């Protein structure tokens, strides 16, 4: 497929001759990237997709990366080259994988960045090689013309729903603490923005502090144990930016002799099975889903990008919210957990 793309790429520079060449190249194979709706790519000429991924990180990540693997199958006309980072915070392994995909002339690159900064040079190389890049989940600090689109739920809106719920749960305000994801990530900044927007100067809200727990349960527990001790347990609300940290916070609240959901309410983002079970039990009080299932959206964006069709600069994935044990039980029964 790469040679076809190159031939088509040349069209801008040479003229009718190349046009005949390019179309001839397409007509001999299946010009439609990724095959047709019935699956299969006709000539067997698969679209090669380089997926610069995060790799094992937690329940959300596993669900999201599996959804991408389930969508970009050979039957659907794709050869997916999966490249997980050496660790969820190892950008160098991602940069190396990215440049390997460019050198291998894959047809398209999917990128979930472990860091928001440091991608501009890589994205420029892909653009020079006429390889479209599609961001999944996480944004990057780079000009929008260097990538086709970003596919993700709206982190600002998801976090705003947490803040709006909190202001109804605590009409007089509360002392609260924020457990953040890995520092510097687009989603961390966006979640802080949305939550703060919802609180928007409402009286009675006292931010005791914020600290990263690196998306992890054990770190969430350790941070909140320290925070509760330092504040004589006078914390009423905890916003955890993902489920695993929120579950850790609930463990710390219990260890301090307090009752999660009564003495301290905890709200999280993601919607994993563990979180919905904790919500059902009352250990969590609110869970905002960060819908990981956007494999089909990614396939559609790849097909449009390779066909030269317009793709919106951001593709928002709809997400739900769960605000009670009954809502959690229904979501679990309906198979919405992951």
Residues 284-323, one symbol each (x = binds ligand AHR by CB under 6 A, - = not), give ------x---------------------------------
* Binding residues for ligand AHR restricted to 227-246, rule: CB under 6 A: 242
Q: How far apart are the first and last CA of the chain?
A: 35
Neighbour count for residue 203 (Cβ, 10 Å): 6
Contact between 115 and ligand AHR per CB under 6 A: no
Using CB atoms within 10 Å of the CB of residue 122, give its burial: 0 to 12 exposed, 13 to 18 middle, 19+ buried: buried
Q: Decide whether 48 or 272 has the Cβ nearer to ligand AHR.
A: 272
Q: Cα separation of 194 and 255, whole Å?
A: 30
Distances (CA, A) of 12 to 6, 64, 125, 194, 323: 11, 37, 19, 43, 54
CB of 187 to ligand AHR, least distance (A): 4
Pick one of 51, 101, 177, 215: the residue that binds ligand AHR (CB under 6 A).
215
Q: Decide whether 142 or 228 has the Cβ nearer to ligand AHR.
A: 142
CB of 310 to ligand AHR, least distance (A): 26
What is the sign, positive or negative, of the torsion defined by CA atoms of 291, 295, 297, 302?
positive
Contact between 52 and ligand AHR per CB under 6 A: no
CB of 210 to ligand AHR, least distance (A): 16
Contact between 180 and ligand AHR per CB under 6 A: no
Q: Decide whether 4 or 149 has the Cβ nearer to ligand AHR.
A: 149
What is the sign, positive or negative, of the torsion defined by CA atoms of 145, 146, 152, 158?
negative
Contact between 61 and ligand AHR per CB under 6 A: yes
SS3 (DSSP) at 91: helix
CB of 190 to ligand AHR, least distance (A): 10
Pick one of 270, 274, 301, 302: the residue that binds ligand AHR (CB under 6 A).
270
CB of 129 to ligand AHR, least distance (A): 27
What is the sign, positive or negative, of the torsion defined by CA atoms of 268, 270, 273, 274?
negative
CB of 269 to ligand AHR, least distance (A): 6
Contact between 194 and ligand AHR per CB under 6 A: no
Q: Cα separation of 147 and 150, whole Å?
A: 8
Q: 112 and 83 in contact (C-beta within 8 Å)?
A: no
Q: Decide whether 5 or 216 has the Cβ nearer to ligand AHR.
A: 216
Pick one of 138, 150, 221, 303: the residue that binds ligand AHR (CB under 6 A).
138
Helices (H), 179-285: 186-199, 217-230, 243-255, 273-281
The stretch near ligand AHR (CB under 6 A) out of 52-60, 90-98, 160-168, 277-285 is 52-60
Contact between 153 and ligand AHR per CB under 6 A: no
The stretch near ligand AHR (CB under 6 A) out of 16-24, 53-61, 117-125, 163-171 is 53-61
Contact between 269 and ligand AHR per CB under 6 A: yes
CB of 297 to ligand AHR, least distance (A): 16
Among 175, 182, 271, CA closest to 220: 182
Q: Which residues does 136 contact at the CB level (< 8 Å), separation at least 6? A: 64, 68, 110, 111, 112, 150, 151, 152, 294, 298
Q: Decide whether 221 or 303 has the Cβ nearer to ligand AHR.
A: 221
Q: Cα separation of 136 and 151, whole Å?
A: 5
Q: Decide whether 4 or 319 has the Cβ nearer to ligand AHR.
A: 319
Radius of gyration in angstroms for the set of CA atoms belonging to the chain, rounded to a whole number: 23
Contact between 195 and ligand AHR per CB under 6 A: no
Binding site for ligand AHR (CB under 6 A): 57-58, 60-61, 137-138, 187, 215, 242, 269-270, 290
């Amino acid at each position: 497929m790469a040679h076809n793309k190159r031939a088509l790429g040349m069209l801008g520079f040479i003229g009718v001759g190349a046009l005949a060449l390019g179309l001839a190249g397409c007509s001999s194979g299946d010009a439609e990237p990724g095959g047709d709706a019935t699956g299969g790519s006709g000539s067997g000429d698969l679209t090669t997709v380089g997926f610069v991924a995060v790799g094992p990180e937690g329940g959300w990540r596993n669900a999201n990366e599996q959804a991408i693997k389930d969508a970009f199958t050979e039957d659907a006309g794709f050869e997916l080259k999966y490249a997980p980072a050496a660790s969820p915070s190892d950008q160098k392994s991602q940069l190396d994988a990215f440049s390997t995909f460019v050198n291998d002339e894959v047809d398209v690159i999917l990128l979930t960045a472990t860091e928001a900064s440091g991608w501009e040079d890589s994205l420029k190389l892909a653009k020079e090689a006429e390889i479209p890049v599609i961001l999944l989940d996480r944004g990057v600090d780079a000009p929008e013309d260097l990538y086709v689109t970003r596919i993700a739920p709206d982190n600002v809106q998801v976090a705003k729903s947490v803040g709006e719920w909190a202001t109804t749960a605590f009409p007089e305000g509360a002392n609260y603490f924020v457990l953040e994801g890995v520092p510097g990530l687009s989603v961390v900044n966006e979640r802080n923005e949305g939550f703060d927007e919802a609180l928007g100067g409402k009286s009675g809200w006292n931010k005791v502090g914020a600290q990263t727990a690196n998306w992890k349960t054990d770190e969430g527990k350790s941070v909140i144990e320290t925070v509760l001790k330092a504040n004589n347990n006078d914390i009423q609300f905890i916003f955890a930016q993902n489920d695993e940290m929120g579950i850790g916070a609930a463990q710390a609240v219990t260890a301090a002799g307090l009752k999660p959901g009564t003495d301290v309410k905890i709200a999280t983002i993601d919607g994993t099975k563990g979180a919905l079970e904790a919500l059902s039990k009352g250990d969590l009080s609110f869970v905002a889903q960060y819908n990981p299932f956007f494999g089909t959206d990614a396939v559609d964006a790849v097909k449009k990008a390779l066909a030269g069709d317009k793709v919106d600069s951001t593709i928002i994935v709809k997400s739900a919210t769960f605000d009670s044990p009954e809502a959690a039980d229904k979501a679990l029964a309906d198979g919405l957990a992951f």
